[in-house]
Structure 1
Amino acid sequence: MCAALITQTARAELFSIEVQSEGETYQQSYDNLSDMLDALDFDEVSNYIPAYTDSSAITTVVNFRGVPVVLSSPQNSSDITMSIGAIDVSELFQGSSRDDSMDLLSDWYEGEGDDALTRLLQELAASTPSDPVAGNPTSLMSRTVGNDFDYAMDTGAMSGVELSNAGQSINGNMVSVFARYSNYSADGIESREYSLPLAYTVRFDNSEDRLIIRVPVAYVMYDGSEVYNLGLGIGYGRQMNPQWSLTPALGYSLVGSEDVGSLSQLVSTSLTSSYAIPLAEYELTIGNMLGYYSTLPTEAGDISQNPEISNTVLRNGASLNIPTPRLVADTSVEVFITDTRYFGSELYIDQYNEIGFSFGKDKTVVTEDDGSYVNYIRRVRAGVKYLFSDNSEGYSLNFGYTF
């Protein structure tokens, strides 16, 4: 019965409990970790099972973001045994009272669990669709992979915008503001992302090379639980020839959520190739990225977590730019497809595809500064993208403005 409950609730709720004592049972579901921990207070049990006392035998089956955890205390004992079958872990907490034993269990999750805690964090990324660190489309690792590829492809495409004064030596720098809303579902869990990636691109004079500094910011909700993300990245776009550019990049990101009990840092490095092939008035661009993404031990206050998740990522894609001057001058439609694959640590989703399109305008603006002409690129685009995999699907709406 307990196993059936876990299977069902894992698909609908991030957290739930089933408590059995004195021949009675009750069940509750929660949107966040804090509310569930409050419900595990033994004083709460008597509200649902009046016959319960501190000497009663009690078993609690916890759905912890999709991973079953069993807490049990025998009759006339203050000891609590925690069993996590998915990772073959059994821990005994011996306090002077059951409340003290629960405090020891909390300390275990905040960092004292060491290797066993690391295995639990890895299991959450490997078997559940709601881990903020890795394994699903709105996780920190997945979004970092997408940003690395998109920035390299976006600035590579802009390097090919025809300049009105190509003979002049001064290129203006660019500020890019992007806004994205994403909605994905996997195994009954819905995730929504609101992100605002920001970027500043330094365009070098007498060159099409560029330095890209980016600050991705995101707010994610997993069925009501809030997750916050912040990052910093730097890339250098090297124009190898008029059609081909290479962009190596480094990145650092941080994710934290009290609601789901997650805290992690991520470092990354990637190399992206962008190759443009003219096809009459159209342009086909082939993108290929190889990246490495790894978590770091993270401490904040009393919490210390180290999931030790590392993955090599291949992301390949193609886009076709179709000019639409008959609609509006300097506009185009772009259709694209990508394939992303993860190798290394086990993830809930290790391969997914995306298809989509965007419509926008690219234009060069030339201004005069102390007798010299400065070339600025102005770009505005809006689009939609559909993501699908064996066990997840969803969409994102995107808007970007570069000036």
Structure 2
Amino acid sequence: MKKAVVALACAAAMGSVQAGDLFELDVLVNSSQQASRGFNSAMDMIDTLSDDGLRSLVSTYTDQSAAQASLFIRGLPAEAEYRANSPALYFRVPSLGISQTFAGATRDESEEMFKNWLKGEGQASLTAMLKELARVSPVDPVAGNPGSLMGQMVASDFGNAMDTGFVEPGGSSKPANAGLVGLEYGQYSSGDYKQNVTRLPLGWNWGFANGYIFKLDVPLSYASTEGAKTGAFSVGGSLLIPVVRNWYLTPALRIGATGSEDLAAAAMMYSGSLTSRYAFEAAGLVWGITNMVGIYRTQSLKAGDYDIDYDLSNTTFRNGVDVGGKLPGNYGWRAWIIDTRFTGDELYSNNYQEYGVAGNMRVDVGGVILDKATLGLTFIHGQHDVHGVKLNFGYKF
């Protein structure tokens, strides 16, 4: 009966919570007074479970009041409760069977213990909650959407193979060394949430005899999700291996990390992938077929007060077809369709598709056709109404 009263009271109070809030707290004090507040920082929401925080919502609250709260954590429902005349904080995630009690000498101490639990002291229970967030949250920074760390690492591995054109294996010429600098801006949305991601791709190519090319890339990114800030980076190495004319295989290894205090999330991730690309000419156009399979896994990340483990393991299949042609001078165009699918641990969006077009300035360097400068636009559509658009610029020197 008490849970029904809480649910009804919280529904009545929802008017004060904005649709784009990542975190929500709906509280009922002494079974009679209710209030709601939305947040875009996990720690701001947890701080509201302190005495001062609850008093700011309901002025008649005291440290002896009974208070039941429904929490909305980036898409995951949870409950928190103080019982009358008790300092203990009870936290539950019914869908996962998680039930924790934080028994401090005061309610402020109990709230601080809960905060430390979220930073890593929760161990197995916290990992279960984070894993569930990757499944139910449209804006998880680690996995489940194109702007996440996993989504960006997949795109980088695939792009390193797809962005190389014709290779002459067994030739005497050595592909030229080249550096890459770029700038990419992406805006993604799902439901009521919007995410803006700015990436700075940095890379270096070293050419070897017989057409082999080693690529090292270090993409950096910054994301703003409804005001919540996230940083991420990865380091990847790949080796382009010519097989026959215009067909090559690219094995790659990568390690990356992301963290966001606002979203109470952090992870390290490592991956191994193998990509096949075949390019050919037909009807006066250059066509390419690129197929990748990769394994992406998280491991625990210890940074400052945080010790977090998502325990995700996913196999990714990314397949694309592209076509390009010449424009006057040394310029050209390119268009593509790419399909990305994840298997393994369930994610919020297990598949999405990309449709893009780009203009470029092309040069032939040692048997390799390079896009010297590229300006591209990509549209993304995926499972669970995931939408996105990316604008990118790249320059090789």
Q: Which residue of 1 aligns with 2:354?
A: 354
**Aligned ranges 1:286-325 → 2 under 5 Å:** 286-324=289-327
Q: Which residue of 2 aligns with 1:153?
A: 162
Alpha-carbon distance between aligned partners in 2 of 1:332 and 1:191, rounded to the nearest angstrom: 31
1:312-338 deviations in whole A, cap 9, x for unaligned?
A: 0000010011122xxx31221111001
* Displacement after TM superposition at 1:87 (Å): 1.3
Q: 1:170 to 1:286 in 2, by over 3 A?
A: closer
* Displacement after TM superposition at 1:345 (Å): 0.5
Amino acid at match of 2:184: R
Alpha-carbon distance between aligned partners in 1 of 2:50 and 2:71, rounded to the nearest angstrom: 13
CA contact (8 A) 2:13 2:36 kept: no
Alpha-carbon distance between aligned partners in 2 of 1:347 and 1:85, rounded to the nearest angstrom: 20
* Displacement after TM superposition at 1:395 (Å): 0.6
Amino acid at match of 2:306: I
Q: Residue 340 in 1 paired to residue 340 in 2?
A: yes
Q: Secondary structure of 1:212's partner?
A: strand
Alpha-carbon distance between aligned partners in 1 of 2:365 and 2:56, rounded to the nearest angstrom: 70
CA contact (8 A) 2:93 2:99 kept: yes
1:186 aligned to which of 176, 185, 190: 190
* Displacement after TM superposition at 1:46 (Å): 2.2
Alpha-carbon distance between aligned partners in 2 of 1:97 and 1:112, rounded to the nearest angstrom: 19
CA contact (8 A) 2:75 2:137 kept: yes
Q: Which residue of 2 aligns with 1:369?
A: none
Q: Which residue of 2 aligns with 1:20?
A: 28
CA contact (8 A) 2:9 2:28 kept: no
Alpha-carbon distance between aligned partners in 2 of 1:53 and 1:197, rounded to the nearest angstrom: 52
CA contact (8 A) 2:173 2:211 kept: no
Q: Residue 76 in 1 paired to residue 85 in 2?
A: yes
Alpha-carbon distance between aligned partners in 2 of 1:256 and 1:191, rounded to the nearest angstrom: 15
1:202-226 deviations in whole A, cap 9, x for unaligned?
A: 0114x21100001010011111101
Amino acid at match of 2:345: S
Q: Which residue of 2 aligns with 1:387?
A: 380
Q: 1:318 to 1:10 in 2, by over 3 A?
A: farther
Q: Secondary structure of 2:211's partner?
A: coil
Give the TM-score of the pair, scaled to structure 2.
0.92
Q: 1:82 to 1:212 in 2, by over 3 A?
A: same
1:213 aligned to which of 212, 216, 233: 216
Q: What is the count of residue pairs matched by the alignment?
A: 387
CA contact (8 A) 1:10 1:63 kept: no
**Aligned ranges 1:4-403 → 2 under 5 Å:** 4=11, 12-22=20-30, 23-155=32-164, 157=165, 159=167, 169-205=173-209, 207-324=210-327, 328-364=328-364, 379-390=372-383, 391-403=385-397
Q: 1:348 to 1:70 in 2, by over 3 A?
A: same
Amino acid at match of 2:329: A
Q: 1:349 to 1:299 in 2, by over 3 A?
A: same
Q: 1:5 to 1:225 in 2, by over 3 A?
A: farther
* Displacement after TM superposition at 1:350 (Å): 0.3
Amino acid at match of 2:177: N
CA contact (8 A) 2:217 2:235 kept: yes
1:118-143 deviations in whole A, cap 9, x for unaligned?
A: 11001110001011000011000011
Structure 1 unaligned regions, length at least 5: 161-165, 367-373
Q: 1:221 to 1:56 in 2, by over 3 A?
A: same
Q: Which residue of 2 aligns with 1:370?
A: none
CA contact (8 A) 1:6 1:68 kept: no
Amino acid at match of 2:386: S
Q: Secondary structure of 2:348's partner?
A: coil
Amino acid at match of 1:110: K
Q: Secondary structure of 2:47's partner?
A: helix
Alpha-carbon distance between aligned partners in 2 of 1:10 and 1:47, rounded to the nearest angstrom: 18
* Displacement after TM superposition at 1:63 (Å): 1.4
RMSD (CA atoms): 2.3
Q: 1:79 to 1:38 in 2, by over 3 A?
A: closer
Ranges of 4+ aligned residues in structure 1 off by more than 4 Å? 2-11, 374-378
Q: Secondary structure of 1:44's partner?
A: helix
* Displacement after TM superposition at 1:105 (Å): 1.2
* Displacement after TM superposition at 1:280 (Å): 3.4
* Displacement after TM superposition at 1:385 (Å): 0.5
Q: Which residue of 1 aligns with 2:5?
A: none
The percentage of counterpart residues that share the same residue type is 32
Alpha-carbon distance between aligned partners in 1 of 2:71 and 2:323, rounded to the nearest angstrom: 49
Q: 1:378 to 1:21 in 2, by over 3 A?
A: closer
Amino acid at match of 1:283: V
CA contact (8 A) 1:172 1:376 kept: no
Amino acid at match of 2:192: G
Amino acid at match of 1:203: G
1:312-371 deviations in whole A, cap 9, x for unaligned?
A: 0000010011122xxx312211110011100000100001111111111111369xxxxx
Give the TM-score of the pair, scaled to structure 1.
0.91
Structure 2 unaligned regions, length at least 5: 1-7
Alpha-carbon distance between aligned partners in 2 of 1:187 and 1:273, rounded to the nearest angstrom: 35
